[in-house]
Structure 1
Amino acid sequence: MLISLVRERAPEETRVGLVPDAVAKLAAAGHRVLVEPGAGERADFGDPEYVQAGAELADDGPERADLTVSVRPLTGDTVARLRRGTATVSFLPAAQSLELVRQLAGAGITSFALELVPRISRAQAMDAMSSQALVAGYRCAIIAADMLPRMFPLNMTAAGTLQPAQVLVLGAGVAGLQAIATCRRLGAVVRAYDVRAAAAEEIASVGGKPIELDLETLEGSGGYAREMTADRARRQQELLEPYIAAADVLITTAAVPGRQAPRLVTADNVRRMKAGSVVIDLAAETGGNVEGSVPGETVRIGRARVWGGRNVPGQLPGPASRLLAQNIVNLLGLLTGPEGRFSADFADEIVAGACVTHDGQVRHEPTKALLQGPLDAERPA
């Protein structure tokens, strides 16, 4: 395959889809990689590193390539440069990118969304959502420790004893578990809650103290939680209120893929927190777990400061890009036919599950439903 790596156009995106080490692996497998100059600069990967790894620098990669790689969805202008029958791999929040999906289908592009890779054992090495959540979970714990006007660990000195910080983590997926583990390594006492039954054991395995509420669990597919009813959400907020009030740090990481983040914490809950308390809402970009959080900003609610996450993995672009690039390399292995060319085998559940558009059609059923109808009329002759 001839693979193109493009430079990210979004000003806030610092990650890159392929790092030099990943390019070297693709080159060793017989592929050619065209890298747009400056593609890795924001993640501290320079053009000479890509060339040394076996890449060629080129501004016209998308026009020439069989497959184009990026972190965020390609812009409409870049999609217009792609040849019919070629492919793209990137994050692609289809429900929020309907016009782009329409354009990809109309142009005959086969597009794969990293967030749609099924959460099955065989796909773990391609699970970009988990790898980026790991980085985000670590990062939010470090931010919390930096913002809190006290130390995390217990300290016993001749001058007196400093009690450890009390941290509460809501949501114990990959990001939540990494936040728990990092806060524990920093010396805090960490309690955590998740709506899934299996979460209690996972929380304890990384040093946290699981909170058990008298509520039904909400097991969903693929290891995610399913949505809760409004009544259950209100009851959960009531039961969590004393834990929130006692916390020095509250970290929320709950998310339901493709949907608005569940509201776990009200502004009144936050107002009852102690002076100097810190709230980290990792889900602020998708609606927020905490009422009043703002993506990319720190706001004050009562006596607490509330930090809203925005592209949190991108705040550690080096490690985030390394993990993401390996996820993409692993996925490309499934998209390579016996002769080394691009080949999408839709009998493979990973390939089929991650595909959004192919051969002029939208294959992802939820997105197709949102678009309300076939795109045949818009396909070029």
Structure 2
Amino acid sequence: MYIGIPRETAPGETRVAVTPETVKKLKGQGHQLLVQSGAGVGAAAPDAAYAAVGAEIVDAKAAFGCDLVLKVRSPAVEELQLMKRGATLVGMLNPFNREGLERLAAAGITAFALEAAPRTTRAQSMDVLSSQANIAGYKAVIIAADRYQKFFPMLMTAAGTVKAARVVILGVGVAGLQAIATAKRLGAVIEASDVRPSVKEQVESLGAKFIDVPYETAEEKEAAEGVGGYARPMPESWLARQRAEVAKRVALADVVVSTALIPGRPAPKLISAEMVQSMKPGSVIVDLAAANGGNCALTVPEQTVLQHGVTIVGETNLPALVAADASALYARNMLDFLKLICPKDTIAVNVPLDDDIVAACLMTQNGQLTRTPG
């Protein structure tokens, strides 16, 4: 089968869907790889690296003209016009973007959104949300350390002792846990908050203190358990108590990393303007939820702003700032998913709807949406 890997054109997107490592493996399965010239440059994978493992370097028209096209982001309108009806597209296509999915359906594309894979043990190796969130959590702390004009670790010097930075992590999913681990390696004192009681043990195992807000009703406890690995919206009674507790910690923090997201919903506002104003001058907030409106009321997506003496980073695509490793992990996720729809030596894409992972990721087929976005 001919597989096309176009260059990503979304602003700031430096990742690539297939790396030389996975090209070699796909070639071993009997496929022909057509990589658009420059597709991997932003991820430290030049054309020569692809050619060395047997890929053919082509232009955009040839890459998009394949029966199977692999991408990081959904194709732009002008790119979609280069694809042929009946082709298959695999990438992070945003399952909540109805307009984008309808555009793919109208073009006759069979589209698989990798973000929609179920969060099950079997699907772990294909979990692009986790692989990319892991990188985002790491990079958020590195950015914070760069912006914060003091040391992270405690240092004892001839000129006196420097106190360790106080870091607060809001949201303890994959990104939050990696942020804790990274901040710990840098020597910070860390506190973390999450609505799910089950993460307390994980937080403490990484050396952070869990900001505990007790549950007063059965409704609060049930909501806190979450669904499918994600938090659910909490009752206002609990949120009010959490805000008060978190506000105390934020006021004392040097760095806040917020990671709270519920797929398909606006990001919950965890840091009010008043909380920002209460922070010390020179403090830093890195808002990983900026793309969904931000956890901080003063976040400006795609910008770094200074408010009340606090630096607020609203970067919306942190994995693209670590493009080589982000692409390597994403490409391995992609490779494992492809094993389900195009086994070795196959000459056409299969769509086994009895496979729960394939069925969950299938967004469009035969000119129709296969599921309601959202």
Scaled to the shorter chain, the TM-score interval is over 0.9
Of all paired residues, the percent bearing the same amino acid is 44
- Give the TM-score taking structure 2 as reference length: 0.94
Q: Which residue of 2 aligns with 1:82?
A: 83
2:366 counterpart residue number = 359
Letter in 2 for 1:5: I
Instruction: Say whether residues 1:57 and 2:57 are aligned partners.
Output: yes
1:83-162 → structure 2 map (5 Å cutoff): 83-96=84-97, 98-162=98-162
Calculate the aligned-residue CA RMSD, in Å.
1.6
Secondary structure (helix, strand or coil) at the match of 2:241 reads helix
1:94 CA drift (Å): 3.4
| Pair 1:343-2:350 in alignment | yes
Alignment correspondent of 2:335: 329
Contact 2:31 / 2:345 at 8 angstroms: preserved in 1? Answer: no
Give the distance between the partners of 2:42 and 2:345, measured in 1 at CA: 35
Letter in 2 for 1:309: E
1:76 touches 1:100 (CA, 8 Å); kept in 2?
no
- The one-letter code matched in structure 2 to 1:323 is L
CA distance in 2, matches of 1:346, 1:158: 67
- Any unmatched runs of 5+ in structure 1? 368-381
Residue-by-residue CA offset, 1:290-314 (whole Å, 9 max, x unaligned)? 1110122122222311111221110
TM-score (norm 1): 0.92
Separation of aligned partners in 2, 1:330 and 1:112: 13
What SS class does the counterpart of residue 366 from structure 1 fall into?
A: coil
User: Which residue in 2 is equivalent to 1:293?
Assistant: 299
Q: How many residues align?
A: 366
Hey, what's the Cα distance between the residues in 2 that align with 1:158 and 1:35? 56
Which of these residues, 246, 262, 268, is aligned with residue 262 of structure 1?
268
Matching residue's letter, 2:74? P
SS at match of 1:182: helix
Q: Does 1:307 align with 2:313?
A: yes
User: In 2, distance between residues paired with 1:69 and 1:366?
Assistant: 21
Give the superposition deviation at 1:111: 0.4
User: Greater shift after overlay, 213-222 or 247-256?
Assistant: 213-222
User: By how many angstroms is 1:255 displaced?
Assistant: 0.6
CA separation in 2, counterparts of 1:63 and 1:286?
Answer: 29
Q: Point out where structure 2 has 5 or more consecutive residues left out of the alignment.
A: none
Q: Using the alignment, how far apart are the partners of 2:96 and 2:373 within structure 1?
A: 8
3-state DSSP of counterpart to 1:190: strand
1:211 equivalent in structure 2: 211
Contact 1:123 1:350 in 2 (8 A): yes
Q: What is the Cα deviation at residue 75 of structure 1?
A: 1.5
Residue in 2 that maps onto 1:11: 11
Contact 1:62 1:78 in 2 (8 A): no
